[in-house]
Amino acid sequence: MSEFVEVAKVGDLPPGQVRVVMAKGKRLALANLGGQLFALDDICTHDGGPLGEGEILDESVECPRHGARFDVRTGRVVALPAVRPVAVYHVRVEGEKVLVDIASRSLAQQSAADVLAHRRRPGQAGAG
């Protein structure tokens, strides 16, 4: 069952920004990618850094502590040192209200080996 909670107003978060919001006592990172909003757990899986205090780079949020990056759409790791994804939540906009369904927590399947493979690129020095 859904449990949508208002966490912000649409105008609170310009495109390309991320911030911490509270939903029933739970800290979430709310990100705006080109006008589309995404919510993730605010706790970096590397060492607990506050993702909502990080920066948006492309489609990911960079942890302010050691630079791990997570895809804000899926929670998957796209840059070390984190190797485990963060949970994501459904977001809905109703007029000016931004609502997060705190019952929709979902965690992508991603192994550490997958993370390591993801960061290697063909032709990279040392590959092969």
Main-chain phi, psi angles of 116, to 5 degrees: -65, -40
Residue 68 near ligand FES by CB under 6 A:
yes
- Residue 41: CB minimum distance to ligand FES, A: 12
Q: How many CB atoms neighbour CB 86 within 10 A?
A: 25
Shortest distance in whole angstroms from residue 79 CB to ligand FES: 9
Peptide bond preceding 15 in cis form (omega within 30 of 0): no
CB 21 within 8 A of CB 7: yes
Beta bridge partners of 99: 6, 92
d(CA 24, CA 121): 41
Residue among 16, 17, 22, 66 that touches ligand FES (CB under 6 A):
66
**Nearest approach, Cβ of residue 82 and ligand FES (Å):** 6
When binding is defined by CB under 6 A, the residue of 18, 82, 88, 102 that contacts ligand FES is: 82
The identity of residue 37, as a single letter, is L
Does 26 bind ligand FES (CB under 6 A)? Our answer is: no
* Site membership for ligand FES, residue 49 (CB under 6 A): yes
65 lines the binding site for ligand FES (CB under 6 A)? yes
- Contacts with ligand FES, residue ranges (CB under 6 A): 44, 46-49, 63, 65-68, 81-82
